[in-house]
Amino acid sequence: MTNLSTLGVAHLSDAVPADLRQALNAQIDQWIDDFDPMEHRASFSSGGAHLEHQRYFLDSARQVSCFLETGAWGEDGQLIQPKHQAINKIGHALHDHSAAFAQLARLPSLSRHLTQISDQPWELMQTMVIMKPPRIGGEVNWHQDGTFLMDSANGCLGIWIALEDADPENGCLQFGPTPEHGLSELFETDHETGESQMRQIHPTALQTPSKPVFAPCKAGDAVVFDGLTPHASSPNTSDRSRRAITLHFKPAHSDWLATNWLQRGELQPFLVP
């Protein structure tokens, strides 16, 4: 039977203590309280932000921005359920605007694992909260993080952290083997025009694994994987939410591609450790 470690995926149990999870959840709730969905109606799905909200999406690289589930709106143009249960994600510079998220990024249990992978410093490029609200939490299609976040060393690394228990019923992560050809496609943005497009870089498209490996997690667990590892998550059709945080790092010495949608602009580099 295939397990996570054979796919190059590490599962860290009890990586984030309960008191920090409480602070992170309080910060997330505050951001949602402050969010006006009628002012910023941007929705997000695994296909990306809706094009009419492209600028809001690109600017989120340097801010704290909320995105709604595509199924959050009724035919009358109103939310079909309370705001706290209609958010898809919050991103993408959370560690630059929150002490709790900065503390998470430098948590010893996580930085020790980064050091085991490489003793060179890492630079945190992106933080985001993925909400997966009950009943409308959307599917995330099979993809590689390197498609959306790429550096010159092809060294992007993701750490996914469960703030609530996650299992196949409410949409935990699932993984497949890395293709022999490496990266399948690259999402590129022209920042002069604001236009983005997906470019196929290998003739073979990313395939859905015949036997995906699920990664159930308890609250506080973390899963670590590189930018070439295919992963996905199913819709959350349960009555339980599945709140999680994802951190994306690159080696500090590598160059960030100018065609990445995410550009941190004047924000200071955030190095770990």
pLDDT tens by residue, 234-272: 999 999 999 999 999 999 999 999 999 999 999 999 999
The pLDDT of residue 138: 85
Number of compact structural domains in the chain:
1
Q: What is the pLDDT of residue 77?
A: 81
Each residue of 121-136: pLDDT tens digit?
A: 999 999 999 999 888 8
- Which domain CATH number covers 166? 2.60.120.620
Q: What pLDDT score does 202 carry? A: 93
125 part of a folded domain: yes
Is residue 68 a part of any domain in this protein? yes
Mean pLDDT for the stretch of residues 176-202: 94
pTM attached to this predicted model: 0.93
**CA dist., res. 206 & res. 143, Å (int):** 7
pLDDT tens per residue, range 163-174:
999 999 999 999
Give the torsion through C-alpha atoms of 48, 73, 29, 139, to 10 deg. Answer: -40
Residue 104 has pLDDT above 50, yes or no: yes
> Is 197 part of a structural domain of the chain?
yes
- Average pLDDT over all residues of the chain: 92
Residue 72 contacts residue 132 (beta carbons within 8 Å): no
Of all residues in the chain, what percent carry a pLDDT higher than 70? Answer: 95
Domain annotation covers residue 266: no
pLDDT of 176 higher than 50: yes
Q: Does the residue 216 lie in any domain?
A: yes
Are 64 and 47 a contacting pair, CB within 8 Å?
no
In tens, the pLDDT along 76-86 reads 888 888 888 88
Write down the pLDDT at residue 44. 57
- Compute the Cα dihedral for 224, 227, 229, 232 and give only its sign: positive
Residue 1 forms part of a structural domain = no
Q: What is the 3-state secondary structure (H, E, C) of 11-60?
A: EECCCCCHHHHHHHHHHHHHHHHHCCCCCCCCEEECCEECHHHHHHHHHH
Segments forming the whole domain that contains residue 140: 13-261
Residue 272 maps to a domain: no
Read off the pLDDT of residues 149-165 as tens digits, 9 standing for 90 and up. Answer: 999 999 999 999 999 99
Q: What pLDDT, in 10s, does the model give residues 65-74? A: 999 887 778 8
pLDDT in tens, 32-55: 999 998 886 665 554 444 445 788
Is residue 6 a part of any domain in this protein?
Answer: no
